[in-house]
Amino acid sequence: MFSYIKKLQYPINIKHPNPKAASIIISQYGGPQGELGASLRYLSQRYSMPYPELKGLLTDIGVEELGHLEMIGTMVHQLTRNLTEDEIEKNPNFMAYFVDHTAGVYPTSTGDTIGDLNENLAAEQKARVTYDNILRLVDDPDIIEPIKFLREREIVHYQRFGEGLRLVTDKLDSKNYYAFNPSFD
C-alpha cells in the first residue's frame, strides 16, 4: 500500500505562462523517456523480480517516478493555464505534441532481471539527458530549479539501479547460475 502526501516532492510556482516551454517539457510527462513510462516500467517489473530487495527498489523508485509525473504535469499546467486560442496557435509545437504523442507511451518489461535492470539504467540516463536538454532551452528560474531537482533524482535512481544490478550479479555468480543453465548462453 502506498501513502500519498498531498504535496509535490519539490514546489512548483511558475509565474509566467509559456506554451513554448510547455511544449519542451511535456515530453517528460508521457514521451519516450518520460516519467509515466518509467513509473509503469518499474512498477510492472517488480512482479517478475526474483529478489525481494530489488522488488522494494523497483516499488520505491516507481512510486517516486509517479511523483515526478505529478511535478511535470503541474509545470505544464502552470505554463499553459489561461492561454487564449491565439496564444496556442502561435505555438504550433505545443499543439503538435498533443496530436502526435499523447498515445505514444508504451512501457515494457522483459521479465529478465539483468535485462530489465540494464534497461532501467539506460532509461534513467536518457531521462537525465532530456532534463539536460530542457535546461539548455529554458531560462525561467521557476522552471530551471524543479527541472534540476528532477535531474538529480534521475542520477540517484541510476545509482540505485546500478547497486541492484551488482546485487543480482553477485547472487547469480555465487550460485554459478550461468554455468548450470546453458540455455541462457
Give residue 98's pLDDT: 46
Reported as a single tens digit per residue, the pLDDT across 93-152 is 776 654 443 222 234 566 578 888 998 999 999 999 999 999 999 999 999 999 999 999
d(CA 76, CA 141): 15
d(CA 14, CA 40): 27
d(CA 124, CA 101): 20
This prediction has a pTM of 0.70
Does the pLDDT of residue 62 top 80, yes or no?
yes
Q: Is 44 exposed, middle or buried (0-12, 13-18, 19+ CB in 10 A)?
A: middle
Q: What residue type is 66 in one-letter code?
A: L
d(CA 132, CA 81): 25
Residue pair 117/111 in contact (Cβ under 8 Å)? The answer is: no
